[in-house]
Structure 1
Amino acid sequence: MKRLDREEKAEYTLNAQAVDRDTNKPLEPPSEFIIKVQDINDNAPEFSNGPYHATVPEMSIVGTFVTKVTATDADDPVYGNSAKLVYSILEGQPYFSIEPHTAIIKTALSNMDREAREEYLVVIQAKDMGGHMGGLSGTTTVTVTLTDVNDNPPKFAMSQYQFTVAEDRVLGGSIGKVKTNDRDIGDNAKSSFDIIDGDGMDMFEITTDSQTQDGIVRLRKPLDFESKKTYTLKVEAANVHIDPRFLSGVPFKDTATIKITVEDADEAPIFSSPTYLLEVHENAAINAVIGQVTARDPDATSSPIRFSIDRHTDLERQFNVNAEDGKITLATPLDRETNVWHNITIVATEIRNHSQISRVPVAIKVLDVNDNAPQFASEYEAFLCENGKPGQIIQTVSAIDNDDPKNGHYFFYSLLPEMSNNPNFTIKNNEDNSLSILAKHSGFNRLKQEVYHLPIIISDSGNPPQSSTSTLTIRVCGCSNDGVVQSCNVEAFVLPIGLSMGALIAILACIILLLVIVVLFVTLRRHKNEPLIIKDDEDVRENIIRYDDEGGGEEDTEAFDIATLQNPDGINGFLPRKDIKPDLQFMPRQGHASGPNGVDVDEFINVRLHEADNDPTAPPYDSIQIYGYEGRGSMAGSLSSLESSTSDSDQNFDYLSEWGPRFKRLGELYSVGESDKET
């Protein structure tokens, strides 16, 4: 019914059955028919991965693998030759070849040079039917690129180069460049340069510029136009990376000649030495010549030179230099013990061209002379035991000397001439610049003499010798049986026998602790007896003192004769208090006779204050005293704020300036209970 395509469907399965046409009933069981489609060569080979790209090193030998291609054919590979492929090269010969059945491409020609031709286009054909007539075919292209190998040496662009350079060119400065050409690329084109011959091999050097691969000629040593004006160099360029396959008698290097001409320039003065080392004794006289520096002008004109000191290197101006001949002299005294080395800089300047300046360092070493006397190495203080033995070493001392003799120090020790026969002590030289002091006898007593002073003369071996006198302090001390110092003062000597220092400290600590306890006890007791009344010192308008505890009621009113205060004209008698039982009998005071005009209120209050202050039977119990009587002829009127008709804040209280403190004191003596406020 339709055209068949094996590549789309290679097999069909049919189910068939015979049925009665009239009844449509099956006459037999179903049967299966399988139909297979037989292949014919109707599909051409195809390269699904094409076009291809491959690389191979240049100069490769014949048969070098390049790449492999693959073609596919949709026809049946089992039936017939419809899918049997054969490969061939249509274009790319004679440089490359291909295996007919494996499709491997190889080089077919040797000595293919990348520098001559870098890329090749190869056309590959795949044909079915085993390559026979009537078969179908397909093609693809392979681009083959030759990769570089180091098969070419570097070549100088010129065989001879000419450079000129001024004689004052700084060291390391570039003089010129030489260029090479290399047909190779990448690392194969990198070259190194070297000076292999010439009369300036030690004066110049050549290096490679990493960016341009040029050779840079640089100055290595200072030039001198007056001594040599031209130099000739032979330089060589060679590849850094060498391929040993191409070293068959062909050198991968090239050479060129460089001629350098030196030009004259005005040069700075040149010192006869790059550095100077001078020595001078520390006792050298002022203006004494220490040494000399010399310099010359290297130019043909030979300008005169003037010398000076760079004062930044001689801030204290200890040296001078003669501007004409370069002689260095001493300007101030030297002291080796203060500074052994002095480093100054001498400047040489051309008189004709002040811009031409040279500098040279000068190191001046100060030599030692014996100008310091030896002395004790430290502040020695010796201790002598009372129970010491004769000949016992009390102290070993040593000396120091700020001088530095060439052969080292050697000190001599002796006593003062007037103390050479010292009855208590003697000295012994230990032959190692140290001295031992020995006791001549035993039985020293610090009660008789606590401290001894022993002057010792110390001399050195210099020329001339120097000496000094140092005094050693020897203190008599109490020691244990094994010679351990325990006490060195007289007060400690009179302490009870057997009482150690630790015991004394413990006793003292106990005494201090007891004193602290007593002070704390007294302080707490005093705080406990203080009244808990909060006093109001600001408000003095009322004579009622408020107290937190309630009073005794009627007993408070019967404790004192209130009527007496209400009427001072009455007889002031004494009524004993009913709320306490006095321990002492208090004698009643005598009544005061009133004057013609009645009682003096000031005197009355003073008497009451005096009685309250001296009455041992009248502590401040809760009570109240009412002073209703203010005296006759009082211009102030009523002093009680309770009786005031107004409580205006502008009320004048100036009249309290005299009476206020007195009422305050009475209020402290006679506190008011809560039950007595109304009264």
Structure 2
Amino acid sequence: YIPVIISSQKENMIQISSNTNTINLDPGSKKIKYILSGDGAGTIFQINDITGDIHAIKRLDREEKAEYTLTAQAVDWETNKPLEPPSEFIIKVQDINDNAPEFLNGPYHATVPEMSILGTSVTNVTATDADDPVYGNSAKLVYSILEGQPYFSIEPETAIIKTALPNMDREAKEEYLVVIQAKDMGGHSGGLSGTTTLTVTLSDVNDNPPKFAQSLYHFSVPEDVVLGTAIGRVKANDQDIGENAQSSYDIIDGDGTALFEITSDAQAQDGIIRLRKPLDFETKKSYTLKVEAANIHIDPRFSSRGPFKDTATVKIVVEDADEPPVFSSPTYLLEVHENAALNSVIGQVTARDPDVTASPIRFSIDRHTDLERQFNINADDGKITVWHNITIIATEIRNHSQISRVPVAIKVLDVNDNAPEFASEYEAFLCENGKPGQVIQTVSAMDKDDPKNGHYFLYSLLPEMANNPNFTIKKNEDNSLSILAKHNGFNRQKQEVYLLPIVISDSGNPPLSSTSTLTIRVCGCSSDGVVQSCNVEAYVLPIGLSMGALIAILACIILLLVIVVLFVTLRRHKNEPLIIKDDEDVRENIIRYDDEGGGEEDTEAFDIATLQNPDGINGFLPRKDIKPDLQFMPRLQKRVARRSITGCCMKKKTVENSDFNEQRPALQKEKRGY
């Protein structure tokens, strides 16, 4: 057998007239039967087993399956044994125009700027056709606009949509509906078609200037309105939208440019007029402003149409309000002398009612600023009488709620009522070996008064001491005074202390003066002028000793004290038997010794108190018949009063107490020691 290919069968046809055209290569009397296998055999295609004709038993669709591969074979009718090898053939389904074009992504939306030129591209839409594009014109599409003319046009083959009218205005019409058709068979009659819709929106451009809703605005405002308060709003309408409609507002002219300002409200797209300075009905009752609204974002393509701005007139009428009194000055500074008499007038404040009615004013003091009530004010004329910083209240008589306050600073002027005096208690020290002209002390003065030009003091000695032989004074540039010695050779044994009265006068009007006395002590000094001692009891440490030197001196003093205490203790233990603790024994015992009597000298030279306290005062009792080398010795307080001794003038003195006779040598030795 030779394989036979059956092709070009049309889809959607039931009967297919075709046979296998078999050739019997082995003729005989055998009966032949034809069988069919492969794609769709028995379900889509059926073979006549006697004649070999193949029939389609179902409607074919090329879009589902374009071709089928089948196998035909001749077999023995009785035994079903193959008589020949199988033959394979292909059945191709021929296309017919049975599918209309479809817009798979529709409906469509597009945007194009308003005022676009003719032929501006809007968008591109495409349709699909399931028919075979290479066989015939079943899938050849042609596009057209069914609705949307004359505003838009479409390219028939590319489906590019363009504007068909120039300068379409969004403000006139913003949205357009376009119906687009796609037809197969190249657009010829009998072809299938499909449609879709396209919504075209015109986007806004700034092609319109702002325009005020009215050319004249009227507003009223009370004269006592708070600064920053919104007085009124003006609005310039713009047909554009978004940022193209944004406008800025300005006051470009008028007699109230300094008192008012205008700001833009970005949300409401209007201008807010606010007060920037106080108003006064009595001064000016109305104002006229010229305001301007201008677009912020300008499109240069439309700038030739003219300025994108507009102007309007605003008239503002000021209404009268009941205002509080107004002081003639925002603050007052008054001066008063500190010795001003009670109820003396120190100044005056004035105020007026700015209203047309001109209500009378009453004055009072804000007592929160004058808790001690040191001042008073005349309620009618505002005259202030004594004293500091206070606040004055002015109240309208007709309306007590209208109150004004003004600060009044009262400066107390100084009066020269205090005499100058030494700044501190001074005490000068003069060295015995000092030189003539040496500065003994520098003193300064103080004055409780506070003159405007500062203090200036005059110093002098008392008239009766103007020719003081010992000291002189010298005024220094820093308003202080130096005391100088006129000579040397001062002797503290001759005169230890000098008193120098100094007269101090101020420069007030009238000037006041006082006399202060400077105490000058004569002291012993080292060769370099360092004061060492001014008397026996006083010792002045050299100036400028370091802390280490002071500690060393203190340690030495403590060591000396320890040695003295040890010495006194040991001596007391040594002489302990001689101590008579019984007062009666002292009175009854008689001391006898063989020394020649010295009369008064002898009695003065010996103190019976030694018998009761051999140690004396700290182990030391000076003899009164010998003048000490130092002019001033430490004063030793006598602990035991002297007692009279019987027979002080006798040359022979006996001691009846036998125990005392035994101690006579020791007593004589003790006596000679004193």
TM-score by length of 2: 0.57
Q: Where in structure 2 are the equivalents of 1:254-403 lying within 5 Å?
A: 254-328=310-384, 330-332=385-387, 342-372=388-418, 403=449
C-alpha change, 1:67 and 1:315, in structure 2 (3 Å) is farther
Letter in 1 for 2:169: D
Judge conservation of contact 2:346–2:386 (CA < 8 Å) in 1: no
Tell which deviates more after alignment, 39-48 or 249-258.
39-48
Q: Residue in 1 aligned with 2:477?
A: 431
- The corresponding residue for 2:169 is 113
Post-superposition offset of 1:311: 1.8
State the secondary structure of the residue aligned to 2:389.
strand
Give the SS at the match of 2:379.
Answer: coil
1:62 and 2:108 aligned: no
1:83-94 to 2 correspondences below 5 Å: 87-94=143-150
CA change 1:151–1:446 in 2 (3 A) is farther
Offset at residue 259 of structure 1 (A)? 4.0
Cα pair distance change 1:447/1:189, threshold 3 Å = farther
Written as runs of structure 1 = structure 2, the 5 A alignment for 1:503-542 is: 503=552
CA drift at 1:397:
6.0
Please say if residues 126 and 137 of structure 1, whose CA atoms lie closer than 8 Å, have aligned partners that are also in contact. Answer: yes
Q: Please state how far the C-alpha of 1:295 moved relative to its aligned partner.
A: 2.4
**Equivalent residue, structure 2, for 1:562:** none
In structure 1, runs of 5+ residues without a counterpart are 333-341, 512-679
Partners of 1:13 and 1:235 lie apart in 2 by 89
Residue type of the alignment partner of 1:107: T
Question: Match for 1:432: what amino acid?
Answer: D
Classify 1:316/1:110 alpha carbon distance in 2 versus 1 (closer, same or farther; 3 Å): farther
2:3 paired residue number: none
| Alpha-carbon offset, residue 449 of structure 1 | 11
Q: Which residue, out of 293, 296, 310, partners 1:237? A: 293
Map 1:445-484 → 2, pairs under 5 A: 458-467=504-513
What amino acid is the match of 2:397?
A: I
Residues in 2 aligned to 1:12 and 1:424: alpha-carbon distance in whole angstroms: 155
Distance (Å, rounded) in 2 between the aligned partners of 1:429 and 1:37:
141
Q: Deviations over 1:452-481 (max 9, x none)?
A: 998765544333334566778999999999
CA shift, 1:306, in A, is 2.0
Alignment partners' CA distance in 2, 1:428 and 1:350? 66
Alpha-carbon contact 2:244-2:295 (below 8 Å) kept = yes
- The Cα offsets for residues 572-611 of structure 1, whole Å up to 9 and x where unpaired, read as xxxxxxxxxxxxxxxxxxxxxxxxxxxxxxxxxxxxxxxx
Partner of 1:159: 215
Aligned residues of 1:454 and 1:471 also touching (Cα < 8 A): yes
The whole-number CA distance in structure 1 between the counterparts of 2:224 and 2:440 is 75
**How many angstroms apart in 2 are the aligned matches of 1:393 and 1:9?**
138
1:95 is matched with 151
Asked if structure 1 preserves the Cα contact closer than 8 Å seen for 2:532 and 2:541, the reply is no
1:348 is displaced (CA, Å) by 2.2
Return the alpha-carbon distance in structure 1 between the equivalents of residues 70 and 521 of structure 2.
139
Change (3 A) 1:25 1:295: same
Alpha-carbon deviation of 1:307?
Answer: 1.9
1:186 is matched with which residue? 242
Q: Judge conservation of contact 2:531–2:541 (CA < 8 Å) in 1.
A: no
Determine if contact 1:347/1:360 at 8 Å carries over to the other structure.
yes
Query: Conserved in 2, the CA contact under 8 Å of 1:14 and 1:33?
Result: yes
Structure 2 residue identity aligned to 1:345: T
Q: Which moved more, 1:233-242 or 1:437-446?
A: 437-446
Aligned in 2, Cα 1:224/1:37: closer, same or farther, shift over 3 Å? Answer: same
Cα 1:483–1:210 shift into 2, 3 Å: farther
Could you tell me how far apart the structure 1 residues matched to 2:461 and 2:95 are?
A: 139
Contact 1:446 1:490 in 2 (8 A): no
Q: Retained in 2: the 8 A contact 1:190–1:239?
A: yes
Map 1:501-650 → 2, pairs under 5 A: 501-503=550-552
Q: Is the 8 A contact 2:73 2:82 kept in 1?
A: no
For the structure 1 residues 204 and 10, does the alpha-carbon distance in structure 2 shift closer, same or farther, using more than 3 Å as the test?
Answer: same
Other structure's SS at 2:301 match: helix
- Structure (1 or 2) with the larger CA radius of gyration: 2
Name the CA distance, whole Å, in 1 between partners of 2:359 and 2:467.
77
The separation in 1 between residues aligned to 2:321 and 2:260, in whole angstroms, is 19
Task: Specify the SS of the correspondent of 2:244.
Answer: helix
1:259 and 1:110 mapped to 2: Cα distance? 44
Q: 1:428 to 1:53 in 2, by over 3 A?
A: farther
Question: Counterpart in 2 of 1:514?
Answer: none
CA contact (8 A) 1:20 1:27 kept: no
1: distance between equivalents of 2:501 and 2:399? Answer: 68
Amino acid at match of 2:333: L
CA offsets 1:147-200 (integer angstroms, 9 cap, x no match) = 333333333333334444444545444544444433333343344444444444
Does 2:203 correspond to 1:147? yes
1:496-524 CA-partner distances (Å, limit 9, x unpaired): xx99444466789999xxxxxxxxxxxxx
Q: Which amino acid aligns with 2:377?
A: V
Cα distance, 1:282 vs structure 2? 3.5
Q: Alpha-carbon deviation of 1:145?
A: 2.0
Partner in structure 2 of residue 541 of structure 1: none
Secondary structure of 2:171's counterpart equals: coil
Q: Which runs of 5+ in 2 are unaligned?
A: 1-39, 45-58, 561-674
* Distance in 1 between residues matched to 2:522 and 2:190, nearest whole Å: 139
CA 361–25 in structure 1, closer or farther in 2 if over 3 Å, else same: same
Within 2, Cα distance between the matches of 1:79 and 1:400? 129
Q: Which moved more, 1:30-39 or 1:422-431?
A: 30-39
**Residue 164 and residue 38 in structure 1: after superposition, are their counterparts in 2 closer, same or farther (change >3 A)?**
same
Pick closer, same or farther for the CA change 1:504–1:367 going to 2, 3 Å. Answer: closer
Shift of 1:308: 1.8
The match for 1:659 is: none
Question: Which residue of structure 1 aligns with residue 308 of structure 2?
Answer: 252
CA offset at residue 412 of structure 1?
Answer: 4.0
TM-score, scaled relative to structure 1: 0.56
Residues 310-361 of structure 1, C-alpha deviations (whole Å, 9 max, x = no match)? 2222223333222222222x325xxxxxxxxx43322222333333333333
CA contact (8 A) 2:532 2:539 kept: no
Q: 1:132 to 1:270 in 2, by over 3 A?
A: same
- Say whether the 8 Å CA contact 2:345–2:386 is kept in structure 1: no
Task: Report if aligned partners of 1:317, 1:331 keep a CA contact under 8 Å in 2.
Answer: no
> Separation in 1 of the partners of 2:533 and 2:191?
131
- Tell me how far 1:70 sits from its aligned partner: 4.7
Look up the SS of the partner of 1:248 in the other structure.
helix
SS state at 1:366 partner = strand
CA 1:295–1:82: 2 relative to 1, 3 Å:
same
Partner letter of residue 153 of structure 1?
P
How big is each residue's C-alpha offset from its partner over 1:5-52, in whole Å with a ceiling of 9 and x where there is no partner?
A: 666567888999999999999999x99999998877665554433322
Distance 2:312 2:334 in 1: 50
The reply to whether residue 53 of structure 1 matches residue 109 of structure 2 is yes
Total equivalences in the alignment: 497
Query: Counterpart of 2:334 in 1: which secondary structure?
Result: strand
Query: Using the alignment, how far apart are the partners of 1:270 and 1:158 within structure 2?
Result: 40
Offset of residue 66 of structure 1? 3.5
Aligned AA (2:201): T
Identical pairs, percent: 81
